[in-house]
C-alpha cells in the first residue's frame, strides 16, 4: 500500500472482515477518552483516576475511601466466572445437542421436546431475582433426607452456591445459542458423514461440533457477560456484602465486584459513592472486556480451523 493515501488504505483495510478488529481497540480507546473528557470537563463528573491504582486492585475494602480496595471481590468474581463457564458449557451444550440431534421430533415425545424448547425460551427472559430465590430455595434452605444421607444445602453465600445460582440464570441462554449453532450446520454434512459409515456420535463429534463451536462460544461469551454483572441473585443467596479476604475454596463465602460496588454506592461518604464506585465500575468493565477479548480470540481460532 506504499504510495496510496492513508484514507484509502484505512477504508480498504476496514472493508476486510478479518482486519476490522484492528480498528476496534483504537476506536474504543479514543471514544472512551472523549466521553470521559465530556463527562468530567463539561458535566463536572468525578473522575475515577485518583482512586483507580494498583493499591485499589490489591487491597481489601476499608472504612476509609482512600484505603478501599477491590481485591477480594475481584478474586470472587474470577472464581464465579470459571465455575459458571464450566457448569453452563457442559450442561448447556449437552442439552442443546440432545434436543437437536437425539430428541424425537414427532409423536408424543416430539410434543414433549417442543414443550421443553418453549419453556427454555421462556426461562431466558425470567428476571434474575427469581433465579436468586430459586438458588436460595434449592442450594441454601432445602433439607432432604435420603436414608442415612441428609442433604442440608450447600450454605448461604458460598462460592459453589453462587456459581450454581448464576449457572441456572444463564443456562437457558447458553442452550438456545448452542441450539442455533447446531441448527446452522448443513444437513448435507451429516448425511455425508453417515454415508461414510460414521455413527451418530462420530458425526456429532467430528462434523457438528467443530462447525458449531464458534457459535456456541459466542453465546457462552454473551451469557457470561450477563453473569459477571449480576447483583440480585448474589444478594438473595446471602453473599457477603463486605469481605476482607478472598475465598479459598468452594465452600468459603465470597463477595463479587458488582455486589461490592452496590454496597459502596449506599455509603454516606461522597468519596465512596462517586470516586470509589467509579473506580470499581471501570475495573468491572476492564475485566469484562478482557474476558470477552480472550474468548473471542478462542472462538476465531476454532472458526478458522472449522472452515
Enumerate the domain spans of the chain: 54-306
Question: How confident is the model over 260-281, as a mean pLDDT?
Answer: 84
More confident residue, 291 or 106: 106
**pLDDT band, residue 307 (cuts 50/70/90):** low
Most confident of 48-52, 249-253, 271-275: 249-253
Question: How confident is the model over 150-179, as a mean pLDDT?
Answer: 87
Task: Give the separation between CA 162 and CA 252, rounded to whole angstroms.
Answer: 11
% of the chain exceeding 90 in pLDDT? 28
Range of lowest pLDDT (25-39, 45-59, 157-171, 225-239)? 25-39
Residue 105: exposure state from Cβ atoms within 10 A (0-12, 13-18, ≥19): exposed
* Mean of pLDDT over the chain: 80
**Measured CA angle at 294 (ends 228, 125), to 5 deg:** 35
Given a contact cutoff of 8 angstroms between Cβ atoms, the answer to whether 210 and 234 are in contact is no
Length of the chain: 307
Residue 165 has a pLDDT of 94
Residue 10 has a pLDDT of 44
Query: Quick check: 2 pLDDT over 50?
Result: no
Q: Say which residue the cell 475454596 belongs to.
A: 249
Query: Quick check: 147 pLDDT over 70?
Result: no
Task: Give the separation between CA 209 and CA 38, rounded to whole angstroms.
Answer: 47
Question: How confident is the model over 80-101, as a mean pLDDT?
Answer: 93
Residue 51 has a pLDDT of 65
Query: Quick check: 5 pLDDT over 50?
Result: no
% of the chain exceeding 70 in pLDDT? 77
Query: Quick check: 133 pLDDT over 60?
Result: yes
Task: Give the separation between CA 178 and CA 183, rounded to whole angstroms.
Answer: 9
* Cα dihedral value 100, 131, 289, 247, nearest 10: -120
Residue 29 has a pLDDT of 58
Task: Give the separation between CA 148 and CA 151, rounded to whole angstroms.
Answer: 10
Question: How confident is the model over 171-185, as a mean pLDDT?
Answer: 92
* CATH 1.10.3720.10 at 54-306, yes or no: yes
Task: Give the separation between CA 186 and CA 193, rounded to whole angstroms.
Answer: 12
- Nearest alpha-carbon partner for 170 in 253, 227, 250, 242: 227
6-23 tens-digit pLDDT: 444 444 444 555 445 545
Residue 14 has a pLDDT of 46
Other CB atoms closer than 10 Å to residue 266's CB: what's the count?
10
Query: Quick check: 164 pLDDT over 60?
Result: yes
Amino acid at each position: 500500500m506504499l504510495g496510496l493515501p492513508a484514507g484509502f488504505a484505512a477504508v480498504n483495510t476496514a472493508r476486510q472482515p478479518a482486519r476490522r478488529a484492528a480498528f476496534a481497540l483504537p476506536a474504543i480507546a479514543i471514544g472512551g477518552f472523549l466521553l470521559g473528557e465530556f463527562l468530567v470537563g463539561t458535566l463536572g463528573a468525578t473522575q475515577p483516576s485518583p482512586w483507580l491504582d494498583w493499591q485499589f486492585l490489591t487491597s481489601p475494602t476499608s472504612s476509609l475511601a482512600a484505603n478501599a480496595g477491590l481485591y477480594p471481590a475481584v478474586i470472587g468474581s474470577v472464581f464465579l466466572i470459571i465455575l459458571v463457564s464450566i457448569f453452563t458449557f457442559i450442561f448447556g451444550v449437552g442439552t442443546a445437542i440432545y434436543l437437536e440431534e437425539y430428541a424425537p421430533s414427532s409423536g408424543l415425545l416430539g410434543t414433549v421436546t417442543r414443550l421443553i424448547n418453549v419453556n427454555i425460551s421462556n426461562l431466558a427472559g425470567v428476571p434474575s431475582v427469581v433465579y436468586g430465590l430459586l438458588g436460595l430455595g434449592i442450594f441454601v434452605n432445602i433439607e432432604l433426607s435420603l436414608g442415612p444421607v441428609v442433604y442440608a444445602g450447600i450454605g448461604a453465600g458460598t462460592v459453589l452456591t453462587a456459581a450454581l445460582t448464576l449457572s441456572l440464570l444463564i443456562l437457558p441462554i447458553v442452550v438456545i445459542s448452542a441450539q442455533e449453532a447446531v441448527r446452522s450446520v448443513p444437513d448435507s454434512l451429516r448425511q455425508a458423514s453417515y454415508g461414510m459409515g460414521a455413527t451418530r456420535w462420530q458425526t456429532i463429534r467430528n462434523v457438528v461440533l467443530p462447525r458449531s463451536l464458534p457459535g456456541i462460544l459466542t453465546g457462552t461469551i454473551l451469557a457470561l457477560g450477563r453473569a459477571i454483572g449480576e447483583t440480585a441473585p448474589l444478594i438473595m443467596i446471602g453473599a457477603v456484602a463486605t469481605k476482607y479476604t478472598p475465598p479459598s475454596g468452594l465452600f468459603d463465602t465470597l463477595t463479587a465486584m458488582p455486589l461490592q460496588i452496590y454496597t459502596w454506592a449506599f455509603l454516606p461518604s461522597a468519596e465512596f459513592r462517586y470516586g470509589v464506585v467509579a473506580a470499581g465500575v471501570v475495573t468491572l468493565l476492564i475485566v469484562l472486556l478482557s474476558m470477552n477479548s480472550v474468548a473471542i480470540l478462542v472462538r476465531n481460532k476454532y472458526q478458522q480451523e472449522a472452515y
